[in-house]
Structure 1
Amino acid sequence: MPDVFAITDPAGPPSPSAGEAALHADAVALLSGWTATSPAAAEARDRTLELLTAGPVAMGRSHRPGHVTASALVLDATGDRVLLCLHGKFRRWVQLGGHCEPADRTLAGAALREATEESGIAGLVVDPVPIDVDIHPVACQGGSLHHDVRFAVFAPPGAVERVSDESEALGWFPPDRLPEPLAGGTVQLVAPALAALRRRA
């Protein structure tokens, strides 16, 4: 019987897809040129840029040291209300958002996709300039970090939300009277999101 030898790939791990490479390049360019909205956001931006030196792998949830995610604070057309979801897993009110997907090409696009999927609202518009970056521990891969890049997203007049499978409830709230229990880091999105809305006017 002939000897059996293990076959190894001399080229190493597979190359990233064009989509993964594009999303990674967008994240690096976006954060490199971003003026942070707070000292904490500046520190999180710098740590996220350091994470991104790992390459496109840092955009996916399988990267245990941490991975980039995208989320959105949705405002109504007047800025009088923000849309939050009661997260089904950790039972806190939080902005919409989540992991990047293979079809995403930009972080702003990922945030818009997540907001659309989780709110059921058609016609949302994303401001392409981030309003915050936040790093927090999560249970992915038995313990990891989300490097969450956050955006302001604007709903059209008369928008009607629809609860998705990922949340227990959706609700509109005045920016100065957010519900409890509230996820850490959500309240800090209100001021820069309202500033983004004013820039659109």
Structure 2
Amino acid sequence: MSALLDDVRRVVTGLGTEEPGPSAVRARVLAHLEAHGDAALGRAVPEHVTASALVLDPSLTRALLCFHRKGRFWVQPGGHLDPGDADVLAAALRELREETGVADAEVPVRRAADLDRHALGDGFGRCAWHLDVGFVVLADPAAAVAVSDESTDVAWWPLDALPDEVPPGLGERLARAARFARAAPSAAS
């Protein structure tokens, strides 16, 4: 059993139960980890763990999204875990750097804010489902961004005016992230 698998279990188990999204998915993710072990962390099985940065501006009113080349939708930066990732949060921050160029970001609470299970379309090859662990990350919207090979654009969007081309549930995930960040001073990190 790897240290990364142990971290994923710890992070998923530590998610708060006050929000319906993460708590509804938690048992399924933990059962999947139990059944597949380290294989659940990579592309060896069609359903696997991913890590995301739910990037908000300091006012918690805008989100940084990437227009995904394969999916043809706006989505938060994130993706597959790599064997060299120290933990799930490190994977989310690596994905943020790789997909947006943002390297200077603040993590207000080092605890996951979101857990989401979503299906992928036919264009994603062997990947059928992602079990996505999301962390709130704050970044300066004035900082330069870069578009990766996985995307065609990177842009800031108001939370109350997201583009039409977002996956189902992303608006609620981002709203949940903003609520989580607002509670950060009183949250246990």
Could you tell me the TM-score, scaled by structure 1's length?
Answer: 0.82
Deviations 1:145-165 (A, max 9, x none): 211111111114632211111
User: Could you say what secondary structure the match of 2:177 adopts?
Assistant: helix
Alignment correspondent of 2:133: 149
In structure 1, the partner of 2:101 is 120
- Aligned residue number for residue 182 of structure 2: 198
**Which residue is equivalent to 2:76?**
95
Please say if residues 62 and 141 of structure 1, whose CA atoms lie closer than 8 Å, have aligned partners that are also in contact.
no
Residues 57-93 of structure 1 show CA distances to partners (whole Å, capped at 9, x for unaligned) of 21111123x2111112111222232111111011111
**SS of the residue 1:48 aligns to:** helix
Distance 1:143 1:88, change over 3 A: closer
Cα distance change, pair 52–88 in 1 and its aligned pair in 2 (3 A) = same
The within-5 A match list for 1:32-181 is: 32-53=13-34, 54-64=36-46, 66-126=47-107, 127-138=109-120, 139=122, 142=126, 144-156=128-140, 158-181=142-165
Aligned to 1:13: none
Q: 1:37 to 1:152 in 2, by over 3 A?
A: farther
Structure with bigger RCO (C-alpha 8 Å, 6+ apart): 2
On the 8 A contact 1:134/1:185 being kept in 2, the answer is no
Larger radius of gyration: 1
**Cα distance in 2 between the residues matched to 1:193 and 1:136:** 17
2:11 counterpart (12, 20, 30): 30
Q: Which runs of 5+ in 1 are unaligned?
A: 1-15
| AA of the residue aligned to 1:58 | A
Using the alignment, how far apart are the partners of 2:169 and 2:18 within structure 1? Answer: 13
- Residue 124 of structure 1, CA deviation: 1.4
TM, length-normalised to structure 2 = 0.87
Q: Secondary structure at the match of 1:115?
A: helix
Structure 2, unaligned stretches of length 5 or more? none
Taking a change above 3 Å as real, the CA distance of residues 173 and 42 of structure 1, as seen in their structure-2 partners, is same
User: Sequence identity of aligned pairs in percent?
Assistant: 40
